Structure 1
Amino acid sequence: MGVELEVPLDDEEIDGFAVVESISIMYLAAEALLRLYFAHVEPEPCPPLKLSSLTSFAKFKQMAGDLLTSPPRNELLREVFRGRLDAPAEVSAEAWTEDADVLRFLLTRAAALLAREANVYNSTKHGLAVQPRKSGLRLGSEEDPNGVIIDHHGPSIRFLSKGPSAEEGVQQWRETIQFAFPSINLAVASAFADEIDAIHAVAKARLTGEQGSVTIRQRALIDHLRAVPFASNYTGLLSLGMHRDFGVRIGR
């Protein structure tokens, strides 16, 4: 015997769910893109085996960090995502260069998410570890409207992250509140997904010998994905986070 319960959701709950899911989807797409890139960037007789061998997240995170210090060359990007080094006949040299710039931007953006902002990912993967909310931040003069540096109110997330402990028996934690921009998060995730499809198309063409097709990117996409207000890190999260550090004594 089953029981069905109808629990109406209000707009605030739906908005909060959308905020958290937009972040989670963006990170999942970033991880998938990076893992596929690492599996195909070096000549491998069977890329899926290379993909399945990346089981250590610490090693994966280090590889993502290496992409930030040594961004991939155009030749590597074109080989993996476009399946060719030379531009198609209908694509100009300028457009071919723009395409490589966009690919590098997307790949390094994905790497930055996993290498530098993994705490947000860890929290959103575990539903009870992150809380959506509405927050406001204002910096500047109350009397002089022209003296306001930042004035923003909107969706944000609150999450905890574990830090190093200097005192034995005390675990340090950090509570962080960061603004979120769901529309930008989903736009970034969509761009990642398109390039995941491109890797699949190139791999299929190489395996079967059939002709495939990929989309050439324009630099305007970078400007669109950077359209986040004031001093953001262009990932959909405000880099100016609000933090509170505290310790919890463990045991007696």
Structure 2
Amino acid sequence: MIGNKPGNGNTDRKTAPQLATEQYSELNATFYVSGGPHEYIRARLQAIIFTLTDSEEAEKILDLGLNVGPLRGQASMRMSEEARARYAQMESTVLLHHAGESLLRLWFAHKESSLCPWLAVASLTSARDFKIEAEKYANADTSHMTADDIASVFLGGRTPEEAGVAIPKESWEDSVNGFRELLRVVADQITGQANLYNAAKHGLVGIPADHGDVNLGDIRVAGGIGITYLQKKPNDPANHNSPRSWWATTSFPSLATDLFLIELIIRAIHSLWNVARRKFAGFPGELVLISHDEVLTAKAIGPIADQRPVQDLSQKLPTYTDGSGPQRFAAVELSANAIRLGPEMLRAYERISGSSNEIAFIDLPLRQADRRKPSTSGNQFFHFSPHGSSEV
């Protein structure tokens, strides 16, 4: 577990007093009474979809202007198709990272069976520790993510019977594998594309542009909208402590892959949140299943549709040659990161490509252990606590 011990929130047990466990019922009720992070992420996903749509209704909506309470604003002009495409690429890049990090942080906090997950999430303040933990999940070896842990956090129990849900065994096992692979893919995305995300988010210094077809010789290796940013990379890729040089990198993230992964992340957080909400606040809910094929297809759909084998291209910024004065430059250096789609990924893509199955919501009913009798106490720790959640 990264950060401080879940449910405590104290940085030094020798000097800080122990938090009162009686307050956890109020904190848990407050945390889970909200709709959950997946609602916010879905609203942002819908904003991307709205911006991209060619429907005439979108322009009519913008013509209505801004009307929020007493605030009134003039109509907003519809952006050009090119500007909307650039926005969608940048926003989907940022949203995928934001949503993925939220999923991982919630997973870290809930898999340890913390008494107060809100405190556990809030204690994950070290970016370095988070990255180290995320890198463990990015590896191909997922044996440390046990089926019991995955099922308990995302499905409500180690088995359908324990969770109290009506899910066939085959669908249950497939969904466990789907959630596991999604965690791995998200961790790999976050740790491998951190520089791209930072460029897109911090100061908007990642520059989106349509690059048309990018060819090496007669072979098209990339193309479409790419995001170009500057970064320092070690001269020796195998040694992160080696001297660094400036490079200009153009990444070609796939909009289709990003949006598909964001949708799967929303479903995963939806399920995790409803499981925790039932456990800690006594509310029934629903689950949303994720298949293993869906996660693999999400990674494959973009590169296959874009017909490109390269994820990003980098060029070292020119430098003067030693002792030659300002008129001579060092040789141009180029590097590229290839996209690797394994046979399992391609087979998954073939199995579900073109399908349009509706998202299935599975009832998550209250079990006897989840039922809570509202408190009639007039005492409570916090002004924001929901009525009946106090234990004092």
TM range (shorter): 0.7 to 0.9
Deviation, 1:10, is 2.3
Measured at CA, do residues 247 and 217 of structure 1 come closer, stay the same or move farther in structure 2, by a change above 3 Å? Answer: same
Give the stretch that moved more between structures: 202-211 or 33-42. Answer: 202-211
CA contact (8 A) 2:107 2:153 kept: yes
Aligned runs of 1:232-243 on 2, under 5 Å?
239-243=310-314
Q: CA deviation at 1:171?
A: 6.7
Over residues 191-236 of structure 1, what are the superposed CA-to-partner deviations in whole Å (9 max), with x where a residue is unaligned?
Answer: 111111211111110013343320222333124302122599xxxx
Between the two proteins, what is the percent identity of the paired residues?
26
RMSD over aligned Cα, in angstroms?
3.0
Task: Give the Cα separation in 2 of the matches to 1:238 and 1:27.
Answer: 22
Q: Which amino acid aligns with 1:44?
A: S
Quote the residue 1:179 is aligned against: 252
Q: Read off the aligned partner of 1:227 and give its amino acid letter.
A: I
**TM-score computed with the length of structure 2 as normaliser:** 0.54
* Structure (1/2) with the larger helix percentage: 1
* Residue identity matched to 1:20: M
Secondary structure at the aligned position of 1:175 is classed as strand
| Equivalent-residue separation in structure 2 for 1:8 and 1:214 (angstroms) | 38
Aligned equivalents of 1:5, 1:83: Cα separation in 2: 47
The amino acid that maps onto 1:241 is: D
Unaligned stretches of 5+ in structure 1? 143-147
- Single out whichever of 111-120 and 58-67 deviates more from structure 2: 111-120
Quick check: 1:126 aligned with 2:182?
no
Structure 2 match to 1:246: 317
Gaps of at least 5 residues in structure 2 are 1-72, 237-242, 321-392
What is the CA–CA distance in structure 2 between the aligned matches of 1:248 and 1:45, rounded to whole Å?
56
Residue 50 of structure 1 aligns with which residue? 120
How many aligned positions are there? Answer: 233
Q: Which residue of 1 aligns with 2:284?
A: 211
Give 1:9's aligned residue: 79
Kindly indicate whether the alpha-carbon contact (under 8 Å) linking 2:205 and 2:229 is maintained by their aligned counterparts in 1: yes
1:78-117 equivalences under 5 Å are 78-87=151-160, 90-117=166-193
The SS at the match of 2:182 is: helix
Q: Which residue of 1 aligns with 2:302?
A: 228
Query: TM-score, normalising length from structure 1?
Result: 0.81
Closer, same or farther in 2 for the Cα pair 1:155/1:137, shift >3 Å? same
Equivalent position of 2:274 in the other structure: 201
* 8 Å contact kept, 2:268–2:290: no
- Secondary structure at 1:214 match in 2: strand
Distance 1:230 1:213, change over 3 A: closer
Is the counterpart of residue 74 in structure 1 residue 121 in structure 2?
no
* Paired position in structure 1 for 2:373: none
Higher RCO by CA contacts (8 Å cutoff, separation 6 or greater): 1
